[in-house]
Chains A and B, each alone.
Chain A
Amino acid sequence: AQTVTQSQPEMSVQEAETVTLSCTYDTSESDYYLFWYKQPPSRQMILVIRQEAYKQQNATENRFSVNFQKAAKSFSLKISDSQLGDAAMYFCAYRRTRSNDMRFGAGTRLTVKP
Chain B
Amino acid sequence: DTGVSQNPRHKITKRGQNVTFRCDPISEHNRLYWYRQTLGQGPEFLTYFQNEAQLEKSRLLSDRFSAERPKGSFSTLEIQRTEQGDSAMYLCASSLADTKYLKQFFGPGTRLTVL
A56 at the interface (CB under 8 A from B): no
A11 at the interface (CB under 8 A from B): no
Chain B, residues 10-37, CB within 8 Å of chain A (1/0): the string is 0000000000000000000001010000
Chain B hits for A107, CB < 8 A:
40-42
Residues of A in contact, count (CB < 8 Å) = 22
For chain B, which range describes its interface: under 10, 10 to 19, 20 to 34, or 35 or more residues?
A: 20 to 34
Are A105 and B3 in touch, CB under 8 angstroms?
no
Are A45 and B103 in touch, CB under 8 angstroms?
no
Of the listed residues A45, A46, A52, the one surrounded by the most CB atoms of chain B closer than 10 A to its CB is A45
B72 at the interface (CB under 8 A from A): no
Q: How many CB-defined contacts (below 8 Å) exist between A and B?
A: 51
Chain A interface mostly helix, strand, loop or mixed? strand
Are B101 and A43 in touch, CB under 8 angstroms?
no
Of the listed residues B56, B91, B106, the one surrounded by the most CB atoms of chain A closer than 10 A to its CB is B106
Of the listed residues A4, A52, A104, the one surrounded by the most CB atoms of chain B closer than 10 A to its CB is A104
**Apart from A43-B108, A44-B4, what are 11 other A-B pairs with CB-CB below 8 Å?**
A44-B108, A45-B43, A45-B106, A47-B104, A100-B33, A100-B55, A101-B45, A101-B48, A105-B42, A106-B40, A107-B40
Q: List residues of chain A with CB under 8 Å of any chain B CB.
A: 4, 33, 37, 43-47, 50, 52, 91, 93, 95, 99-107
